[in-house]
Chain A
Amino acid sequence: MGKRVLKRFLSALGTSFFVIIFNFFLFRILPGDLTTVIARSNTSPEVKQRLIEASGLDKPLMTQFGIYIKQLLHGDLGSAFYMYDNSSSVLEVIVGRIPNTVILLLTAEIIAIIIGMIIGTICAHKRATPLDTGLLSGSLVLYSMPTFWFAMLLIFIFCVNLRLFPTGGIYTAGTAYHGWMLIKDYLKHMALPSLCMGFAMVGCYAVTMRSTMIGILTEDYIQTARAKGFSTRYILLKHAIPNAMLPMATIIAMNIAFILGGAIQLETLFSWKGLGQLMYLALDKRDFPMLQGCFLISTLAVILANFIMDILYGFIDPRVKE
């Protein structure tokens, strides 16, 4: 176990190293790099000069790379071009927004996994009945739906027409709640985005769960359990579902790189002050240091999440030991 963890850790470290290098050259070598972007922007020559000097773009490429690595080792991602009185530390802004994104995504992920597994199990159990067809088609529609469009629909129905939920933000503006009231207000703002994000992911999990369960339900040990006279409920809960966890864990791990995309769309629509919205704002203003910082942090987060999933995998599947 320890050896496996170490191996995975080294591999994750290696990938992170490549990401750091990639992140630097991506913004410096491609056509439309930082220098061009600054030249194209419609600010005064003084501001342009300040930006070029601040990003060290007047120095040779390898010197810039040296500075980038040195700054990174000191936990410095540079300062923003325009956003937040144009000299805020990128890292500080990003770190301040991470908790919101993590809370939102974790809630959504839990909602999606639970509902997806229930739907998938029902479909597999009632295979080829109208119920199966209906739920499967529903899942496929959810799967083919642009996340942000679903959010627009929900905002239109629940916020504009029914006025059940606030349209966006994290807290109600102009209030100074404390303690329980504060948490309640936060949850009220989070309900719609997390449900929306969760349902956007349900399709993928339900379809995977269904096909896995169909495979499992034809296995011999299920037949044996049936022959022994166990109830269907018992067989599903104790024999089938635990064995379906493995492919589900794989899909969940593969999805990590994708849910950040959903977070960008949803946080933008619900003005949820997280990493995704920050990235959208940075893109909108073409604030490249901020964009670069967000990209680096989100990629490293995916690597970390994959690493954690890998370790958990070892616990779920006793066969993975080596």
Chain B
Amino acid sequence: MFSANRSEENIKRNLRKIKTRDFFKKLWANKMARTGIIIVCFFILMAIIGPILMPFKTTDIATTRDLVFNKPSAEHWLGTDNNGRDVLAYLVNGAKASLMVGIIATLISMCVGTIIGITAGYSGGWVDNLLMRVTDFFMVLPWLPFCMVLAAILGTSVWNIILVIGITGWTGTARVIRAQTLSVKEQQYVERTLSLGAGKIHIMLKHILPNVFPLVFSESILIISSSILTETALAFLGLGDPTNPSWGTMLNDAYSTGAMTNGAWWYFITPGVCVILVALGFTLMGYAFDEILNPKLQKK
């Protein structure tokens, strides 16, 4: 009995492995996904290795005037800023904060959205009603003003910014997950498990969650790009963490020190291009995941 169980589990595990390998094969074959993955991996590497290769301190200020707003040259590939700091080093070091905020904030909104979506969809009745009212309420709140107010009240450390973006970005996920839960709930096997005496929590965790997870995944990847954009906007408006400069902080610096009027295009164009590339990378990945994981889209 025991060994039979073991081998059954082995087969299951193997099946899962094949499925996963199949998934990655499909992913790599998809042009959009491949482009997205390459872009995102490049920037993640940049965030990890970059600071080691090009150390950077926001407090490093040039002592001579000839270092101010230097054009790109062999010595400074992307020129220098108003304080004579190397723009490339600033850029490489800004990747960490931007990516970190985007990814962790998305994890928070993913958890909140999934919990609310599954609970609402599975419970139905007044719980569903109440939770959806709350979701509607958060959807109506204008996103950036709300983030600004929250960040201004809580203070602008990196963790507060993550929290602010995380707790404002879950509404879409909650709605999508609720709709999916409603359809999974109607499947016969859920009813069977229920009649076997399984508890609510057990069904939600063991049967509904695995079924809505692919959706959660592709939805979350799309949210990462909007989280990164939100962080950039908040930092630009002066709500960035000064000790953890991101690309948004960099753009704020460039704007407030007059990079535009001084013709220092290298200073403000580069961080923007990085933000676009990263956001685009995640968006492409999200769309591709959706295409692969969503059976409805496959049929078309």
B17-25, B62-70, B83-91, B268-276 - interface stretch: B268-276
Determine whether A213 belongs to the interface, using a CB cutoff of 8 Å to chain B: no
Chain B proximity mask over A139-178: 1 for CB below 8 Å, otherwise 0: 0110111111100110110001100000000000000000
B154 and chain A: residue at smallest CB distance: A32
Given A148-B251, A257-B139, A30 contacting B144 (CB threshold 8 A):
no
**Contact call B237/A280, Cβ cutoff below 8 A:** yes
Determine whether A27 belongs to the interface, using a CB cutoff of 8 Å to chain B: yes
A68-76, A226-234, A283-291 - interface stretch: A283-291
**Contact call B145/A268, Cβ cutoff below 8 A:** no
Determine whether A53 belongs to the interface, using a CB cutoff of 8 Å to chain B: no
Complex alpha-carbon distance, A12 and B146, angstroms: 19
Determine whether B29 belongs to the interface, using a CB cutoff of 8 Å to chain A: no
Closest CB of chain B to A6's CB: distance in Å?
Answer: 18
Chain B proximity mask over A247-267: 1 for CB below 8 Å, otherwise 0: 000000010011011101100
A78-86, A109-117, A118-126, A296-304 - interface stretch: A296-304
Determine whether B53 belongs to the interface, using a CB cutoff of 8 Å to chain A: no
**Contact call A284/B238, Cβ cutoff below 8 A:** yes
What are the residues of chain B within 8 A of A37 when measuring CB–CB? 153
Given A152-B255, A260-B144, A146 contacting B232 (CB threshold 8 A):
yes
Given A32-B155, A260-B144, A302-B142, A152 contacting B260 (CB threshold 8 A):
yes
B236 and chain A: residue at smallest CB distance: A148
**Contact call A146/B233, Cβ cutoff below 8 A:** yes
A142 and chain B: residue at smallest CB distance: B276
Complex alpha-carbon distance, A260 and B280, angstroms: 23
Complex alpha-carbon distance, A292 and B280, angstroms: 34
B148 and chain A: residue at smallest CB distance: A283
Determine whether B229 belongs to the interface, using a CB cutoff of 8 Å to chain A: yes
Determine whether B143 belongs to the interface, using a CB cutoff of 8 Å to chain A: yes
**Contact call A264/B148, Cβ cutoff below 8 A:** yes
Looking at B155, B239, B272, the one whose CB has the most chain A CB atoms below 10 A away is: B272
Complex alpha-carbon distance, A268 and B268, angstroms: 17
Near B by CB (< 8 A), chain A positions 195-237 give none
Identify which of B139, B229, B238, B254 contacts A146 (C-beta below 8 A): B229
Determine whether B205 belongs to the interface, using a CB cutoff of 8 Å to chain A: no
B279 and chain A: residue at smallest CB distance: A144
Determine whether A279 belongs to the interface, using a CB cutoff of 8 Å to chain B: yes
Given A26-B149, A152-B255, A279-B148, A146 contacting B260 (CB threshold 8 A):
no
Determine whether A15 belongs to the interface, using a CB cutoff of 8 Å to chain B: yes
Complex alpha-carbon distance, A187 and B126, angstroms: 51
Near A by CB (< 8 A), chain B positions 185-226 give 225
Complex alpha-carbon distance, A261 and B272, angstroms: 18
Given A156-B265, A265-B236, A146 contacting B153 (CB threshold 8 A):
no
Determine whether A194 belongs to the interface, using a CB cutoff of 8 Å to chain B: no
A-B pairs with beta carbons under 8 A, tally: 133
Determine whether A2 belongs to the interface, using a CB cutoff of 8 Å to chain B: no
B151 and chain A: residue at smallest CB distance: A283
Complex alpha-carbon distance, A262 and B276, angstroms: 16
Determine whether B242 belongs to the interface, using a CB cutoff of 8 Å to chain A: no
B155 and chain A: residue at smallest CB distance: A32
Determine whether A104 belongs to the interface, using a CB cutoff of 8 Å to chain B: no
What are the residues of chain A within 8 A of B143 when measuring CB–CB? 257-258, 260-261
**Contact call B233/A261, Cβ cutoff below 8 A:** yes
Q: How many residues of A contact B (CB 8 A)?
A: 50
Near A by CB (< 8 A), chain B positions 127-159 give 136-137, 139-146, 148-150, 152-155
Determine whether B261 belongs to the interface, using a CB cutoff of 8 Å to chain A: yes
Determine whether A31 belongs to the interface, using a CB cutoff of 8 Å to chain B: yes
**Contact call B238/A283, Cβ cutoff below 8 A:** yes
Closest CB of chain A to B257's CB: distance in Å?
Answer: 13
Determine whether A51 belongs to the interface, using a CB cutoff of 8 Å to chain B: no
Given A144-B280, A261-B145, A264-B237, A303 contacting B154 (CB threshold 8 A):
no
**Contact call B145/A294, Cβ cutoff below 8 A:** yes
Identify which of B140, B255, B276, B283 contacts A299 (C-beta below 8 A): B140
What are the residues of chain A within 8 A of B124 when measuring CB–CB? none
**Contact call A148/B233, Cβ cutoff below 8 A:** yes
What are the residues of chain A within 8 A of B248 when measuring CB–CB? 146
**Contact call A149/B154, Cβ cutoff below 8 A:** no
Identify which of A32, A254, A264, A306 contacts B144 (C-beta below 8 A): A264
**Contact call B237/A299, Cβ cutoff below 8 A:** no
Given A265-B233, A268-B237, A279-B148, A260 contacting B142 (CB threshold 8 A):
yes
Complex alpha-carbon distance, A26 and B284, angstroms: 37
Pick the 4 closest A-B CB pairs, nearest first.
Answer: A261-B144, A144-B279, A149-B272, A260-B142
Apart from the given pairs A144-B276, A258-B142, 9 other A-B contacts in the complex at a CB distance below 8 Å: A146-B229, A149-B251, A149-B272, A152-B255, A152-B272, A262-B144, A268-B237, A279-B145, A295-B146
Residues of A within 8 A of B (CB): 15, 18-19, 22, 26-27, 30-33, 37, 140-141, 143-149, 152-153, 155-156, 160-161, 254, 257-258, 260-262, 264-265, 268-269, 279-280, 283-284, 286, 291-292, 294-295, 298-299, 302-303, 306
16 inter-chain pairs at a CB distance below 8 angstroms, sorted by A residue, are A15-B137, A19-B140, A30-B153, A30-B154, A140-B284, A144-B229, A145-B275, A146-B229, A146-B275, A160-B260, A258-B144, A261-B145, A279-B148, A283-B148, A283-B238, A298-B142
